[in-house]
Structure 1
Amino acid sequence: MAYGQHQSFYLRDRWLNKGIKHLATDERFFYDKDAFEKIGLGKNMVQSLRYWVVATGVVSEVYNTERKKIHRITELGDLVFKYDKFIKFPETASILHYQLVKDIEPSSTWYWYFNVYKETVSTKDSLLNELIKWVKDTEKKAVSEKSLKRDIDCLVKLYTAGQNVNDPEEVIQSPLHKLGLVEEIKGVIYKKASNYNHIGLTALMYVLLDYCFQNDVDTVSVDDLVHSIGLWGKTFNISRSSIVNALNQLTLHPKYPVSYIRTNNLDLIRIPNITPQNFLQDEYSRKVEVIK
């Protein structure tokens, strides 16, 4: 698993746009010794950005035919760059958050906090202590406590930097602060309950489609949506009632509605036959057309 790879820098506004723009012309950009000058960031920030573009799913790290690492823009990255390069839509921020927390790598602390850790009120010290316990139980090799502390600090900043508009020190926003999933007040960290309107129905459908695609299923239950790792309840801390309300709204989607089916006294949700990327392409194009 992976810890502390962000160089203690949380993701900044416009960073993803910068990274994708340079990778579009040079898949080895992050290995260019002059990359920091070309992109206008410090050397450690460039290494941080290399982590964030992969962690948010807009870029994949693979090997080319010469067995050299390259960074290739994903379908999601292409869509974000084309339609919402500055992360103005809350749905985009929600999807990037989902990419961060859905898998145990490369953002293991994020995965733990949203999928495993059950407390909603804590301090950084209590978070660190619980993370240390989890890492000891799940890792074969020892992990530096300093790396785990940096992860906790970065996680909190990623979701809160920019929330306090009256704080002059918070001039550098994170694109995920608008989700309101985490709040820090006088040293106390709150995992906030969300609702489907704030997350966005487009993002919820994308998550549902991606989950079903990854698990090769075409139906899920409400219990799955509430309790399963990688689905709405854990990813966005949404209550069962809000999940049901969102499902009812998604049955009314004009092109790709979900539908209820009843099997063995169990309500299942059948998803439409479309890939998450094609769905997002359609949603983005309609949204941009409306804005025009």
Structure 2
Amino acid sequence: MRLDEACSPVFARHETFAPRYGWLKKAVDAASQEDDVFNREEAVVDLGVGKNMVRSIRHWGHAFKLLEMELVAKSRRPRSRPSSIGSDFFADDGIDPYCELPGTLWLLQWWLLAPISVSPVWWLSFNEFTGIEFTEEELQQFVLDRTGEWADPHPSSVKKDVSALLRMYSSGEGVRATFDDRIDCPFRDLGLLQPSATVPGGYRFLLGAKATLPSLIFTACVLDFAVRTGDDTRTINLSRATSEVGSPGRVFKLSDGAALDLLEDAVTRTDHVRLTSAAGVPQLTLSTSPAIALRGVLSDHYRVFGRRIMPGELVPAVGSVA
């Protein structure tokens, strides 16, 4: 998958804030109101945050595909409305409106980078950047080199995005973050990034197994990847799920062995997929289309926690520029 196929050229819309606990629920609730809180002057009062944070909450709602754009008759300004997955997960009676259950943060990480993503710096950092230990400046230069002919972003915008990404996933002495950032960004709990022990002021991507990643959530993301890339076949080989640019294996920084362990566990927890082998290559075999299997696998995961996903296909939301 190419950058121009996976992403829209959107940079530095987060107002320098990483997503915080409760913000995504706020985003869906605000967009659910008939007159769209984000387009009101009273938004700072309604959401209980500053003006810049209002814009940041709206941006992250769109970036995680929980919101989508809707044109309004006789208005030049479109409104935000909840997407299908936004309503399914973050409505008051949704599956996990406060991100309390295992796996929901991993789904959000996947949706952030899944096509069409409005976070190209994130997409490049997880999918194409080959550095394991690196400095902030090295990552910035890589992004500028990759996006130059495509979008020609201003270097200051890329710098803001890279800084936000590092604060979003890492904590410690190497991160220039406010106190609120350090205690209030849930994505640090995924264990994807940490300060480097060997590169002064640098960072390190954590490759391999992820202790908090449920096997059915990983499997659901593999199925979602097939849906979003137009693959309606009923077999998905392991290399596609782990090594292809844009795949869940890259987005979650998994090794082939860790991904295979997750799939082997998943097939013991659901009847919607089986693990088979073709010429010695492990592959998922589906009994139905990837879109229907996706909802079934997610249902099996959340059913354990007493949450129900309504019948039908879980339609993947696509990114929209906000």
Give TM class, smaller chain: 0.7 to 0.9
Specify which structure has the bigger relative contact order, considering alpha-carbon pairs within 8 angstroms and separated by 6 or more residues.
2
Q: Does 1:80 pair with 2:89?
A: yes
Counterpart secondary structure, 2:276: strand
Q: Deviations over 1:5-27 (max 9, x none)?
A: 11111101111111212222236
The aligned residue for residue 213 of structure 1 is 227
Greater CA drift, 275-284 or 208-217: 275-284
RMSD of the TM alignment (CA)?
Answer: 2.6
Amino acid at match of 1:270: T
Q: Aligned runs of 1:172-211 on 2, under 5 Å?
A: 172-185=183-196, 187-211=201-225
Distance 1:281 1:99 in 2: 17
Paired residue secondary structure (2:68): strand
Change (3 A) 1:112 1:118: same
Q: Distance in 2 between matches of 1:171 and 1:229?
A: 30
Q: Higher helix fraction: Structure 1 or Structure 2?
A: 1
SS in 2 for 1:244: helix
Q: Which residues of structure 2 form unaligned runs of 5+?
A: 1-8, 308-322
Q: Residue 221 of structure 1 contacts residue 269 of structure 1 at CA under 8 Å; is this kept in 2?
A: yes
Determine the structure 1 residue equivalent to 2:4: none
1:118-157 alignment, distance < 5 Å? 118-139=130-151, 142-157=152-167
One-letter identity of the residue aligned with 2:86: G
Once the two structures are aligned, what percentage of the paired residues are identical? 20
CA contact (8 A) 1:104 1:112 kept: no
1:231 maps to 2:218: no
Match of 2:273, SS state, is: coil
Q: Aligned pair in 2 of structure 1 residues 168, 52: CA closer, same or farther (>3 Å)?
A: closer
Query: Partner of 1:48 in structure 2?
Result: 56
Report what 2:305 is aligned to: 287
Q: Which moved more, 1:181-190 or 1:36-45?
A: 181-190
The 3-state SS of whatever aligns with 1:258 is strand
Note if contact 1:7-1:44 (Cα within 8 Å) is conserved in structure 2: yes
Q: Match for 1:260 among 276, 290, 300?
A: 276
Distance 1:171 1:157, change over 3 A: closer
SS at match of 2:186: coil
TM-score norm. by structure 2 comes to 0.80
Number of residue pairs aligned between Structure 1 and Structure 2:
285
Residues 1:112 and 2:124 are matched in the alignment = yes
Alignment of 1:232-251 (within 5 A): 232-251=248-267
Mapped partners of 2:287, 2:39: distance in 1: 41
**AA partner of residue 201 (structure 1):** S
Residue in 1 that maps onto 2:80: 71
Q: 1:58 to 1:282 in 2, by over 3 A?
A: farther
Provide the rounded CA distance (Å) in 2 between the counterparts of 1:155 and 1:42: 21
Aligned residue identity for 1:123? T
Q: Distance in 2 between matches of 1:61 and 1:248?
A: 39
3-state DSSP class of the match of 1:190?
Answer: strand
Q: Which residue of 2 aligns with 1:271?
A: 286
Query: 1:104/1:256 Cα in 2 relative to 1: closer, same or farther (>3 Å)?
Result: closer
Query: Partners in 2 of 1:254 and 1:104 — Cα distance?
Result: 28
Q: Which amino acid aligns with 2:129?
A: Y
Where 1:288 maps in the other structure, the secondary structure is coil
User: How far off is 1:281 after superposition?
Assistant: 4.1
Q: Secondary structure at the match of 2:283?
A: strand
Offset at residue 59 of structure 1 (A): 1.4
Query: Structure 1's 168 and 64: CA in aligned 2 closer, same or farther, altered over 3 A?
Result: closer
Change (3 A) 1:7 1:115: same
State how far apart, in whole Å, the 2-side matches of 1:61 and 1:250 are: 35
1:171 CA drift (Å)? 5.1
**Taking structure 1 as the reference length, what is the TM-score of the superposition?**
0.87
